[in-house]
């Protein structure tokens, strides 16, 4: 049987005009590829977390947007760009917190608008190339995140991660897991602990699945066990992904991340947020302005269990993300560098350096 790591999390099947994803709601029990051709099906797949994780959502949306306008019969570039904008708005409404969704759609639109004098077929080709470029860059970026993250740890370390910022959240390698995969290849012998991540169990269903499939020493824990593990000295560093980093370094990630960061601080353990530049949003000044997705209470009351685990109709509060304050974050690992506090300066500087390096 093929390992989960041999599948692309997200891909374009251009011949059949389909977005191909692994249906992550079925993992780890079943590996099923979905070929999505309708915009409503792509929107639904993002909204229900069939494809999830900030970078993967961005790549899926870029491919989805290309597919939305591929059959367009627009006769002028202007009409085509209007259709493109409406399709981007629709996909962007699927989930609010991960900035990669808006980032990828904006990048696609910008690429087309730059060529607004071209013919409609030429604009379609621009969008085709751009979504493939976003796909390819995601792989390269994750590799570089791995290299930069690996400078922060040593062989034999115990590492903790929360949710799934792994291969299943990107095209390959993951963000928070990239140093783990790379270290594993280089014989670091890490011990990786995965929080199960209530309520949707991304840590249990996805992270522990993909890391153990790679042969990494993986231990699954319930979310509330992390502080005890830290107290016992089993964790030397925490690596998490994120959905949006504000200009001041506050970072939104899966609900529960804040508690892990507070515990890490209590026990003097470095807490690293691993984020591609596409997840850093300088237009959002602080975490207070990040929109936090709230999801159905049924995810807490009954999902994943044979019988409901709570009385029917009990009130719930189910935010999908929380914001970790910048003073709890030891460093933000990007594909460019390891950014240190104060983040308002270090993040801005990093973008300036990147701009300056661009041909």
Among 36, 242, 251, 333, the residue binding ligand MRU under the rule CB under 6 A is 242
The CB-of-202 to ligand MRU minimum distance in angstroms stands at 5
Q: Which one, 183 or 276, has the nearer CB to ligand MRU?
A: 276
Among 53, 96, 256, 287, the residue binding ligand MRU under the rule CB under 6 A is 53
Q: What is the x/- site pattern for ligand MRU, positions 133-172, by CB under 6 A? A: ------------------------------x-x---xx--
The CB-of-278 to ligand MRU minimum distance in angstroms stands at 10
Q: What is the x/- site pattern for ligand MRU, positions 195-224, by CB under 6 A? A: -------x----------------------
Among 58, 64, 149, 241, the residue binding ligand MRU under the rule CB under 6 A is 241
Out of 138, 157, 195, 243, pick the active-site residue. 243
Does residue 324 interact with ligand MRU by CB under 6 A?
Answer: no
Phi first, then psi, for residue 195 (nearest 5°) are -70, 140
Does residue 10 interact with ligand MRU by CB under 6 A?
Answer: no
Does residue 295 interact with ligand MRU by CB under 6 A?
Answer: no
Does residue 280 interact with ligand MRU by CB under 6 A?
Answer: no
Among 9, 18, 45, 52, the residue binding ligand MRU under the rule CB under 6 A is 52
The CB-of-120 to ligand MRU minimum distance in angstroms stands at 34
Among 124, 198, 254, 301, the residue binding ligand MRU under the rule CB under 6 A is 254
What would the 3-class secondary structure string for the chain be? Answer: CCCHHHCCCEEEECCCCEEEEECHHHCCCCCCEEEECCHHHHHHHHHCCCCCCHHHHHHHHHHHHHHHHCCCCCCCHHHHHHHHHHHHHHHHCCCCCCHHHHHHHHHHHHHHHCCCCCCHHHHHHHHHHHHHHHHHHHHHHHHHHHHHHHCCCCCCCEEEECCCCCHHHCCCCCCCCHHHHHHHHCCCCCEEEEECCCCCCHHHHHHHHHHHHCCCEEEEECHHHHHHHHHCCCCCEEEECCCEEECCCCEEEECCHHHHHHHHHHCCCCEEEECCHHHEECCCCCHHHCCCCECCCHHHHCCCCCCCCCCCCCCCCCECEEEECHHHCCEEECCCCEECCCHHHHHHHHHHHHHHHCC
Beta-bridge partners for 219: 193
Q: Is 281 a catalytic site residue?
A: no
The CB-of-177 to ligand MRU minimum distance in angstroms stands at 8
Does residue 130 interact with ligand MRU by CB under 6 A?
Answer: no
The CB-of-270 to ligand MRU minimum distance in angstroms stands at 18
User: Which sequence positions are flagged as catalytic?
Assistant: 243
Interacting residues with ligand MRU (CB under 6 A): 49, 52-55, 98, 163, 165, 169-170, 174-175, 202, 241-243, 253-254, 320
């Amino acid at each position: 049987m093929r390992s989960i790591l041999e599948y692309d999390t997200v891909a374009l099947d251009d011949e059949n005009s389909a977005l191909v994803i692994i249906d992550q709601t079925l993992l780890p029990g079943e590996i099923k590829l979905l070929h999505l051709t309708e915009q409503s099906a792509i929107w639904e797949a993002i909204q229900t977390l069939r494809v999830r994780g900030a970078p993967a959502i961005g790549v899926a949306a870029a491919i989805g947007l290309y597919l939305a306008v591929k059959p367009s019969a627009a006769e002028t570039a202007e009409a085509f760009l209007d259709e493109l904008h409406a399709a981007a708005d629709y996909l962007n409404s699927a989930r609010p917190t991960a900035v990669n969704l808006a980032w990828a759609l904006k990048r696609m639109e910008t690429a087309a608008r730059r060529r607004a004098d071209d013919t409609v077929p030429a604009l379609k080709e621009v969008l085709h190339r751009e979504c493939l470029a976003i796909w390819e860059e995601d792989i390269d970026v994750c590799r570089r995140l791995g290299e930069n993250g690996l400078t922060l740890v040593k062989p034999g370390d115990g590492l903790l991660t929360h949710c799934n910022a792994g291969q299943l959240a990107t095209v390959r390698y993951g963000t928070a897991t990239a140093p783990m995969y790379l270290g594993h290849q280089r014989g670091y012998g890490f011990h990786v602990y995965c929080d199960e991540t209530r309520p949707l169990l991304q840590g249990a269903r996805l992270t522990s699945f993909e890391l153990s499939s790679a042969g990494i020493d993986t231990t699954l824990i319930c979310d509330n066990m992390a502080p005890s593990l830290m107290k016992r000295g089993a964790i030397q560093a925490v690596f998490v992904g994120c959905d949006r980093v504000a200009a001041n370094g506050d970072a939104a990630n899966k609900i529960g991340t804040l508690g892990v960061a507070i515990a890490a601080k209590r026990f003097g353990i470095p807490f690293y947020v691993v984020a591609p530049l596409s997840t850093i949003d300088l237009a959002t000044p602080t975490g207070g302005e990040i929109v936090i997705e709230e999801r159905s209470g049924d995810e807490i009351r009954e999902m994943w269990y044979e019988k409901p685990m709570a009385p029917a109709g009990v009130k719930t509060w189910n935010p999908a993300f929380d914001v970790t304050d910048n003073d709890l974050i030891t460093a933000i690992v990007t594909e460019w560098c390891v950014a240190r506090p104060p983040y308002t300066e270090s993040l801005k500087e990093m973008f300036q350096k990147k701009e300056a390096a661009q041909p």
